Structure 1
Amino acid sequence: MQTNFTDAQLRDPKIQRANEILRSCVHCGFCTATCPTYQVLGDELDSPRGRIYLIKDMLENERDPDAKTVKHIDRCLGCLACMSTCPSGVHYMHLVDQARAYIEERYRRPFSDRALRWILSRILPYPGRFRLALLGAKLGRPLRHLMPDPRLRAMLEMAPKTIPPVSRNDDPQSFAPQGTQKMRVALMTGCAQKALNTDINDATIRLLRRLGCEVVVAEGAGCCGALTHHMGREAESHATAAKNIRAWTAEIAKGGLDAIVINTSGCGTTVKDYGHMFKGTDLAEAAQKVADLTVDVSELLQRLEMPEGTGQDLMVAYHSACSLQHGQQVKTAPKDLLKRAGFQVVEPKDPHLCCGSAGTYNLLQPEISAKLKDRKVKTLEARNPDVIAAGNIGCMMQIGSATKVPVVHTVELLDWATGGPKPRALTKGNPANPVPMLR
């Protein structure tokens, strides 16, 4: 794609990066075939190629974003399926992230939009606040049909039927390995996950300890910054990310780290991009080191040569989160591990398509999100599985809200198959199968 940035504009590193990305696009349109919003809406401007044109025009002319441009950029899921499809290697993620930050800085949204985005940025990254909000949403859920704004209805419908107890395993501490130590790893416990499902981190710690890892929950680490980053709130997301970089750098200095393990793939995609986010800053070297150490839990389990398991004769429909298969290009590891653990693994039709969760997308764009959710659930249920597995809490909540098939994290099944407790979602609330604390 031909660009016309001036020499003065190109002295800005952000514009330099945008120029590189734009010039790599050859207008081929392969991205439209795998773009969920284009398939749902049928509008060229709701495809990656269309959005690239809008972003190019906005950045080149240094113009304030208009409502039309903002609408189509906001409709982007950030699923990154286009990056898996693109034959030219267009790094759409960096381009759309820059566009969102530009819009946040220079566009005055309607008051209701500003208020909702502010509320989400002040609640979701903070587990304590999020728990209180979930409790309020649970109480207000019967009144959701009275809400005039579909986004408010979506927020009330998001609340799970039961809010899990606080897990002390998420507190800063170190868990000793069982048997001979093979690795020392830091586990990112996240933010929303600590409010929505505490079993995932518990299962991860159990499994990694069983395989010879000392597991460290670092003092000062928290939200990865993805939730605010994808809303264009760059200063907030970078401040949050900087805390993680400093926390893990301190652990590296203290006892060394073989890996930084993440079991929420949306977070993993962001942390693996810390090197780019902090390029040219005082934290650049440390950020790149953190990014280089970061792995999805499935990647680490493959390194550790997880033993074969029983699998309990269950058929597992594996949902590949977009942030894992497209953002991190981790596609086969979770399925291979589940098969090794003895499970029968099937995939839905069009496994590359998004479920519609996408961070805060299901709250900010509920109509489009609902269509994508319905399609994904139908394709999963068509495989008649005993259980649905995914590697991202957002996908789990999204899919679980529309199916009666139990939805669990991949690591919960792997933990169970190799000696851990049966996942809570498969016990139907049976108190005879408690999930023990790790201390």
Structure 2
Amino acid sequence: MAIKIPRGTQDILPDASPTWQWITEKARKICQLYRYEEIKTPMFESTDLFHRGVGETTDIVQKEMYTFKDRGDRSLTLRPEGTAPVVRSYVENKMHGWANQPVKLYYIGEMFRYERPQAGRTRQLTQFGVEAIGSDDPSLDAEVISLAMAFYKSFGLNKLKLVINSLGDLESRKAHREALIRHFEPSIHEFCSDCQNRLQKNPLRILDCKVDSEHPLMATAPSILDFLNETSKQHFEHVKEALDAMGIPYEVDATLVRGLDYYNHTTFEIMGADFGAITTLCGGGRYGGLVSELGGPEVSGIGFALSYERLLLALNAEQVQPEIENPLDCFIVAIGEAAEKKATELLYLLRQQGITADKDYMKRKTKGQFKQADRFGATTVAVLGDEELEKAIINVKNMETGEQQEVAINEFPQYVQKLVENRRDSHE
């Protein structure tokens, strides 16, 4: 019986891999412009990190984590999200003591969540995220949001909508929490079991419930914006002023709470073209208390995360084609055993000079080798047979111009390199 791929995962085949690499290159380029540096954290961490960092009442912790015991009976979890591991590293490596503050980081890697697979939602997902830690400046919130928007716009996506909200500071959230309990408590029996459990633990999470989203009490729930104290109001106003200054349009949505417990003050989501049940492309926000919860100082941070899988859906929805160039500079057609051996040597010399080169490995006839060169899209085809070997020459054809030239074998690598350089210059 054949073994099949686990549900909720996918193989990235060679024809799709260049698109994923293209996305990664875009992410790295935009982070370089904004002066964010890459960090890599382990694929698994102590389970306690996510219980403390993400929150006991979140769906991630309660339902979605891949947790296992190692041989030392330690509980470990495949990382379901990127912020808690980055903050753990920030604390453990004492980045708060670095000269350059805030510390601006980005990560690209696989996350794992046990949830129902659907379009744009898989059990192993590739995530790109940024974290800026060590400053409370609201203009940093706007910078992070602008980075996310610039990333999406770099692909040529036009159907984007930025939604923002403020969850306020601890004082504001406490007042709002009490109001939410008073609002939902008389009818909480009408809600799902998750919401019933959240009422006392974290009533704000009720607003994020997908099961009871149409319940009448959802529409009349107290707005966090009505409970913001002066400090929280000023922070949110400064964020909006910074976005206005950059000309980034947004909508304020008081029901936007996000799904993780560590958020406070600014939260945001970026929506994309309607490509199915899920339109949220990116989500993030400011977090306070997370660094200190994991043993660090009382500093806050802000970040976002997005998945490649949902970005690909948005690209398909807007019919955006990846900008991928993978030309084959030279294909050598070898005719005869002696030519075959010489072709192997010539391929090595071409590749040593940074020229992409290939030949036939399936013992095809001459006509079949030419067809293979055509399928590869070779820009130069070189033909080598017994007659050419005797004369120490090789026939080279520029497939773009149709020009053919007999070239001395010892000058062949330099000749092809010159063709490649001229071609690249003409395309710039």
TM-score by length of 1: 0.23
Bigger helix fraction: 1
Bigger strand fraction: 2
TM-score by length of 2: 0.23
* Structure index of larger Rg: 2
